[in-house]
Structures are given as structure tokens and as C-alpha cells.
């Protein structure tokens, strides 16, 4: 309550291509699952977290959040290839990497484009940012993956 004078926070998680679709975290859930992106899909929305081959993931594993619903965009204007790779069977592939816990709460961990693959291991930029934040000489940071021949 301190800083804001209330504990009634809603966390909404979505993207422009999804219109008003996505997930939200209610004030009640926010108290128990602070840091989660949400659990309850917004009206008329379906949400899944899937693995590389479209399979359901286990709690704690990282997968891609996909959305389906009436407010999802129809296409990117004059960009048929981008539309084809983003919309599949009515699902919007968000490129948001997320986990889901045993209670169904979804937490965004990174963007697919920001993930770094090194030595066959996936390293999420947000994990590196958290580690850098622990150093007393770091005030603020941002980590972005870039291509490297190795």
C-alpha cells in the first residue's frame, strides 16, 4: 500500500496485433503471484504456451505464448510473408517467451528475438539483466542478443 496508497493493481499483458486479447492478473492474484504476467485470458481470448513443435509445455518450461480470438489482427498490411509466419491456424504467434506454473499463471520471460543461444543453451536477456542489476556499480542496463559466427 505504501508508495501508491493502494494494493488494487491489475496487470494486463498483450500486444498490438492481438487487439484487446491477452491475459490479466487481478488485484487478488497480484498479491499472491507478484511478477506474473497473468492467468485469466481477456474476454473472447484463448491463450496457450507451446514448445518448439507446438506441443504443450510442462510447468516451469519456457515456450511461446500464442493467442486466439475475435480481436486478433487479420494481417500485416502488404506483408504476406510476415502474416504467414505470425498467424497460423487462427493463432497469433507472439514471440513472447513465457512459463506457466502449476496454478496456470503465465510469466513472460523474454522475447524470442532477444534470446541468445550459446553453446547450445538458451540464455534469456532478462536473466543477464537481473544478474547485472546485482552489481553495485550498475544503475540500469539492457541486454540485446546479436548474431555472432561462433
Q: At 108, is the secondary structure helix, strand, or coil?
A: strand
Residue 17 inside a domain? The answer is yes
Residue 4 inside a domain? The answer is no
Is the pTM of the predicted complex or chain greater than 0.85? Answer: no
How far apart CA 57 and CA 97 sit, in angstroms, is 12
Q: Residues 97-130: pLDDT tens digits?
A: 999 999 999 998 877 766 666 777 777 777 788 8
> What total of structural domains would you count in the chain?
2
Q: For 20-42, what is the mean pLDDT? A: 87
Give the residue numbers spanning the domain of 133.
115-150
Residue 5 inside a domain? The answer is no
The reply to whether 23 and 73 lie within a common domain is yes
The reply to whether 108 and 126 lie within a common domain is no
How far apart CA 92 and CA 47 sit, in angstroms, is 10
Residue 3 inside a domain? The answer is no
Residue 45 inside a domain? The answer is yes
The DSSP letter of residue 56 is: B
State the pLDDT confidence band at 14, using cuts at 50, 70 and 90: confident
Amino acid at each position: 500500500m505504501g508508495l501508491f496508497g493502494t494494493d488494487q493493481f491489475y496487470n494486463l499483458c498483450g500486444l498490438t496485433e492481438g487487439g484487446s486479447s491477452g491475459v490479466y492478473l487481478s488485484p487478488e492474484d497480484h498479491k499472491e503471484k507478484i511478477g506474473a504476467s497473468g492467468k485469466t485470458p481477456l474476454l473472447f481470448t484463448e491463450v496457450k504456451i507451446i514448445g518448439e513443435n507446438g506441443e504443450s509445455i510442462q510447468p516451469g518450461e519456457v515456450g511461446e505464448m500464442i493467442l486466439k480470438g475475435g480481436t486478433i489482427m487479420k494481417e500485416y498490411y502488404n506483408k504476406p510473408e510476415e502474416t504467414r509466419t505470425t498467424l497460423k491456424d487462427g493463432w497469433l504467434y507472439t514471440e513472447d517467451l513465457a512459463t506457466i506454473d502449476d496454478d496456470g499463471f503465465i510469466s513472460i520471460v523474454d522475447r524470442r528475438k532477444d534470446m541468445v543461444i550459446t553453446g547450445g543453451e538458451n540464455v534469456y536477456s532478462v536473466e543477464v539483466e537481473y544478474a547485472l542489476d546485482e552489481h553495485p556499480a550498475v544503475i540500469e542496463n539492457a541486454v540485446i542478443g546479436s548474431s555472432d559466427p561462433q
